[in-house]
Structure 1
C-alpha cells in the first residue's frame, strides 16, 4: 500500500533544548551507506560525545556479525550516537544492553507491548522491531563507542526484512511521528547512559535489575548457537554483572557473552 512518509523535522531535531536532551547534537542526512560508519569516521576525526547522525535512508546498514539490511526511505529511525564513556572499559559490554533497555522503555511509555531479547534486540510480542549495533573505536582522543539503532516505524508487512520482524505502524499507532519518537528515544537513552556513567557499581546493579525485568529471554528454554556450529541448550536463568546471559544447561550454569553467540532462539 502507499503510505505517507514525512521527512524528519530537521529544525526540531537541530534545536533540541539542553534541558530535554543534554549534550546531544543531531544531524539529519538524506542517505548514507551506514550511520555507524559515518560516526566511526567522525569519532576518529575528533568529534565530541553526543554527536547523533540520522539517515532517512541507508544503503548498506550493518547489524551484529556484519549482517546487512535495508529499509525504504523515511520508513524507519536509523541513527548512531557517539559516546566517549568515562566508565571503566570492563563495563562497556553493558552499552548494547543499556541501549536496548532505553529503546524498550521509550516504546513502553508509548503503550507498546515491548520487551528486550538478550542481548539487545527489541521486540513487540515475539517480533523484532529494533536492532542495535555497538562498536568500540580507537581514536586519537582515546577509545570511543558508536551506538547504532535501527527501529522499524512505518514499514508495511510486505516491506519487512524477515517474517519475524514488525513495525510500530503495524502494532499500534496509525502514523507515528518519527521526529517526536527520536526525541523520546534520545532523551530516554541519555538518562540511562548518564545514570550508568555516574552510578559506579551501584548504578550498574540498578541497570542489571532494570534490564533483567525488561528481558523476555529470561525464564525461557533457549538454544544458543555458537560460532563453529556448536549449541548450548538450557534455561535462560539470569543476567550476570558483566551483562552475560547465564544458561542453566546439562552441565550446570554457563555464562555467554554477546560477542560469543550467533543466535539465541527460544526452544518450543
Structure 2
C-alpha cells in the first residue's frame, strides 16, 4: 500500500490543524525542494511531501544527503517535508519541536529514542534520523520547511562513510516496522508541536523541559565545530530560553547557536 493512501496517514492529515495536503512519491530529488515549490506555486500551506527515496537531499551546512537505502522488505528510509507558516515568535524553536515529533513517532512503534542537539534523533546512542529546517518567504509569508529523514529499516545494510555509526528503527527493535504507522504518528505529533508553538510564549518552557528530558547531549562532554571552523570543547549543561546549547568550557560558559556536535567518550 502506498503511504499516500494509508488510512492512518490520511486520518492524521484530515484531523490536523496545520496540515492540508499530502503527496507521497517513490523517488524524488529533494522533498524539501518539492514541498517549497508547491508552496511557491500557490498551494495552500500545510503541504506534506514524503518519499521512499531521496537522491539529492541536503543536510546542515548544505551537505549532500541521500536517502536511498534498500532494506530487506523495501525502502529503508522515509523522507518527509512539511511547509507551514513560521510559528511566531518561536520560529527558532522549530527544529527542537521537529525533533520531539520524530521521537514521538519512534516511540509509537515501540522504540526508545533520545535527542542529540540540535537536529538528530538517536536510538541506542546511534543516529536514526536527521532534521533540516529552512526558512523562506513565499508570497510575503514567512514559512518554514521542516525536513525529516527517517532511518526505518537498515537490517543487513552495509554502511560506509558517515553512516558507519548509524542505525534504524527496525534494528533497534529487532523487527520490521509499519512505515504508515510511523508517518501517521509523525504528522500527528508535529501538528501538536506546531499548535503548542502557535500558543505563544507560554508554550516555550514546556517544550524546553520536554526537550531537556529527552536530550542525551546535556550532561556530556562535547566538541562543537562552529561555523567558521572554531572548536568549542566542554560539558553541555543546559538549553537557554531560545533553545540554544549552553556549554561550560575550561574558561567560560558559552551559548552555542549552531554547530556540529560530537559527544566525547568518557575520560
TM-score, normalised to structure 1, is 0.89
Q: Tell me which residue corresponds to 1:40.
A: 36
1:110 is paired with a residue whose SS is coil
Please give the residue correspondences for 1:38-117 in structure 2 after superposition, counting only pairs within 5 Å.
38-70=34-66, 71-72=68-69, 74-88=75-89, 91-117=90-116
Q: CA RMSD in A?
A: 1.9
Count of aligned positions: 257
Equivalent-residue separation in structure 2 for 1:144 and 1:19 (angstroms): 21
Q: Is the 8 A contact 1:113 1:124 kept in 2?
A: yes
Deviation at 1:13, TM superposition (A): 6.2
Flag the 1:100–1:221 CA change in 2: closer, same or farther, 3 A: same
Flag the 1:42–1:72 CA change in 2: closer, same or farther, 3 A: same
Q: Is the 8 A contact 1:43 1:137 kept in 2?
A: no
Q: Tell me which residue corresponds to 1:204.
A: 204
1:227 is paired with a residue whose SS is coil
The superposition leaves residues 90-111 of structure 1 with CA deviations (integer Å, 9 ceiling, x where unpaired) of x211101110011112323432
Q: Is the 8 A contact 1:43 1:144 kept in 2?
A: no
Deviation at 1:18, TM superposition (A): 6.0
Flag the 1:126–1:188 CA change in 2: closer, same or farther, 3 A: same
Gaps of 5+ in 2: none
Q: Is the 8 A contact 1:44 1:138 kept in 2?
A: no
Equivalent-residue separation in structure 2 for 1:21 and 1:37 (angstroms): 23
Deviation at 1:251, TM superposition (A): 2.5
Structure 2 residue aligned with 1:16, among 2, 8, 11? 11
1:224 is paired with a residue whose SS is strand
Equivalent-residue separation in structure 1 for 2:254 and 2:13 (angstroms): 44
Flag the 1:15–1:222 CA change in 2: closer, same or farther, 3 A: closer
The superposition leaves residues 35-94 of structure 1 with CA deviations (integer Å, 9 ceiling, x where unpaired) of 001112122222222210011211111111122232236221111001113512xx2111
Equivalent-residue separation in structure 1 for 2:180 and 2:23 (angstroms): 12
Residue 127 of structure 2 corresponds to residue 128 of structure 1: yes
TM-score, normalised to structure 2, is 0.89
Q: Is the 8 A contact 1:129 1:152 kept in 2?
A: yes
The superposition leaves residues 141-179 of structure 1 with CA deviations (integer Å, 9 ceiling, x where unpaired) of 411100000001122343446111101111115211101
Q: Is the 8 A contact 2:9 2:184 kept in 1?
A: no
